[in-house]
Copies of this chain bind each other. A is one copy, B any other.
Amino acid sequence: MSLYPQIKKFFLGKSLPTSAHSEERLSNAAALAVLSSDALSSVAYATEEILLVLVAAGTSALGLSLPIAIAIIFLLGIVVLSYRQTIRAYPQGGGSYIVARENLGLYPGLVAGGSLMIDYILTVTVSISAGTAALISAIPVLQSHGVLLCLIFIFLLMLANLRGVKESGQIFMIPTYAFIGSIFLLIAIGLFKNSTGQVITEYPSLPVTEGLSLFLILRAFSAGCTALTGVEAISDGVLAFKPPEWKNARLTLLYLGVILGLMFVGISYLANTYHIVPEEGQTVVSLLGRVILGTGPFYYFVQIVTLLVLLLAANTSYGDFPRLCYFLARDGFLPRQLSLLGDRLVYSNGIVLLSVCAGILVIIFKGQVNAVIPLYAVGVFTSFTLSQAGMVRHWFNEQTGSWHASALMNALGAITTFVVLIVIIYTKLLLGAWLVVVAIPLLVSLFALIHRHYQYVAQRLSIQGIAPRSYIPRPKPEFITHPAVVVVGQLNRGTVEALDYARTIADEIVAVHVDMGTTDREKLQKKWRHLESDIPLEIIGSPYRSVIEPIVNFVSQFEEHHPDVFTTIIIPAFVTRNWWDGILHNQTTLFLKNALKAKKSRVITTVRFYL
């Protein structure tokens, strides 16, 4: 009892009062760092995922990665423009769950919520795995400890978020801008060295395992679409901007689109020019770094910065997932515990849930980014589609200002993301996407079940129609008003005090003792008659040596004979000085209470004797 709080305090710090809650407003540059690390960091793995699909058709197919990347940039443009409309319409922050629920109804909202939950978990898994891959690329000796490293990173993120990391723009800006800067520098050096012909590379000859088909190209496209994950974060966090919030948010979203697009297409172009083929234990960015920069300090800088930005990306899920869980729990679709602020003013239960789920996925998929990728993006594009479709409905309901243009933009967004969703499911279904396709409806059913349970409880506990208590005359039974059963193990000081207590509250008392075959009945009765002559003692035999069952049966019968009144079941318990002394005694009290609960006994009183 006294150790746990100390450990907790050491790791998480002191409790914070509710009044310490406050929101920081971010400059646009800081907001880009805080809200967009998820989107930006996908540059670290998106190109690689495209190449990993194409390489099945041989090195000649790898050239297709550039047009695919450009198509994805085009898609990015549509999504960015579409979300700019959302920001205008929801200046308070319009997450997919809220937008879909308000405009499309309950179930689309829940589908959006469920998809987002899954995706936030996968964001942690993918980002941590990719970050670890960047680290391992730089330090290959760590290769056999990938899963362990991932789990350590998740644990550290969990601790940091349980402590309550303020999303402090200043600190977040450093790795994000270092990442952006170093990727652009890498691209620039790469372009320069290539144009001056300093580095000459060629594709190795690789076995062709699959013919080049439209399906393969679509699959590569689907794999690359993971670059778009996290784009919606700015529209969720409009309130974090300085006023005028929505205008700043729109502008920042545009910047994000441009920066992400340039980095993605730049890396994809270089991967082509430098004939990069994905290989085990080396990320594409690392391979590019090695060939362009050698293994000098700047190469290691790029890798470390990539790891850091991916940790930040995972960290954004630690803000978004618990907040989404809070919304769902507040509305009664998830367990209430997820809506409670912890000691450090964060939704601790959501943070732990996210960490456990992400950790399990890391273990199942062995920390391999490309093993998880087929699951990723299904959720994102589901929530994209629902959110954009909700916006179309929104504009038709509102009909204010230039709503025609906005509706058209959102409709384009909705249709495009829906088509991409179909493509993603079609091409990756058998690779693992089916897991998500199955999980979303399961999650929505779970939401509905939980909601039904809470409604049932509320209805059963409702005080509607109950008469005011003190005004009604309570019925007075003729004989007994308040019976009590006292459970007697041995006749000791604790039992004596419990019987004393029983006398103060009850007017019919019976004591019950179970003889497992080891009681000297005569001796016990004699002692009893001496000390407690006013209370009858029932001794019940127990041929099967169970204490619990005979007592529970006795109590049941007793309660049947005393209907319409509360029967108090009094259990004397002695409390040892330390928990370890407790090991030396039977846990009968606990089992007895559970058994009485199963038999629906109403009133159970523990009279404790402190040693």
Q: A residues engaging B (CB < 8 A)?
A: 1, 15-19, 335-337, 340-341, 343, 450, 453-454, 456-457, 460-463, 466, 468-471, 474, 481-482, 490-494, 496, 499-501, 503-506, 516-517, 527, 530-535, 543-546, 565-566, 568, 574-576, 581, 583-586, 594, 597-598, 600-611
Whether B470 contacts A335 by the Cβ 8 Å rule is: no
User: Among the listed B1, B335, B470, B493, which residue makes an inter-chain contact with A532, where contact means beta carbons less than 8 Å apart?
Assistant: B470
Whether B496 contacts A463 by the Cβ 8 Å rule is: yes
Q: Give chain B residues whose Cβ lies under 8 Å from the Cβ of A532.
A: 468-470
Whether B1 contacts A501 by the Cβ 8 Å rule is: no
Whether A608 contacts B602 by the Cβ 8 Å rule is: yes
User: Among the listed B335, B461, B504, which residue makes an inter-chain contact with A493, where contact means beta carbons less than 8 Å apart?
Assistant: B461
Interchain residue pairs with CB less than 8 A apart (28): A17-B543, A18-B543, A335-B585, A336-B584, A336-B586, A340-B545, A343-B545, A454-B584, A457-B585, A460-B493, A460-B611, A461-B490, A461-B492, A463-B492, A463-B496, A463-B531, A466-B496, A468-B531, A469-B531, A482-B505, A500-B566, A504-B565, A505-B506, A566-B607, A600-B610, A603-B605, A604-B608, A605-B605
Q: Give chain B residues whose Cβ lies under 8 Å from the Cβ of A456.
A: 611
When chains A and B are docked, how far (Å) is the Cα of A456 from the Cα of B583? 15
> With A544-B343, A586-B336 given, is the CB distance from A608 to B598 under 8 Å?
no
Query: Assembly of this chain: how many copies?
Result: 2
> With A544-B18, A605-B568 given, is the CB distance from A450 to B501 under 8 Å?
no
Shortest CB distance A16–B (Å): 7
Q: Give chain B residues whose Cβ lies under 8 Å from the Cβ of A601.
A: 608
In the complex, the chain B residue whose C-beta lies closest to that of A497 is: B602
When chains A and B are docked, how far (Å) is the Cα of A153 from the Cα of B546? 30
> With A470-B534, A505-B482, A543-B19 given, is the CB distance from A581 to B453 under 8 Å?
yes
Whether B16 contacts A568 by the Cβ 8 Å rule is: no
Shortest CB distance A326–B (Å): 13
Q: Give chain B residues whose Cβ lies under 8 Å from the Cβ of A543.
A: 17-19
Shortest CB distance A505–B (Å): 4
Whether A504 contacts B566 by the Cβ 8 Å rule is: yes
Shortest CB distance A504–B (Å): 5
When chains A and B are docked, how far (Å) is the Cα of A496 from the Cα of B501? 24
> With A335-B583, A544-B343 given, is the CB distance from A466 to B453 under 8 Å?
no
Given A474-B503, A481-B504: 15 more A-B contacts, CB < 8 Å: A18-B517, A457-B576, A461-B609, A462-B493, A463-B491, A463-B493, A469-B496, A469-B531, A469-B533, A470-B532, A471-B533, A501-B602, A504-B566, A601-B608, A604-B605
Q: Give chain B residues whose Cβ lies under 8 Å from the Cβ of A581.
A: 453
In the complex, the chain B residue whose C-beta lies closest to that of A506 is: B505
> With A574-B457, A584-B450 given, is the CB distance from A466 to B531 under 8 Å?
yes
Chain B CB within 10 Å — which of A343, A492, A584 has the most? A584
Whether B504 contacts A598 by the Cβ 8 Å rule is: no
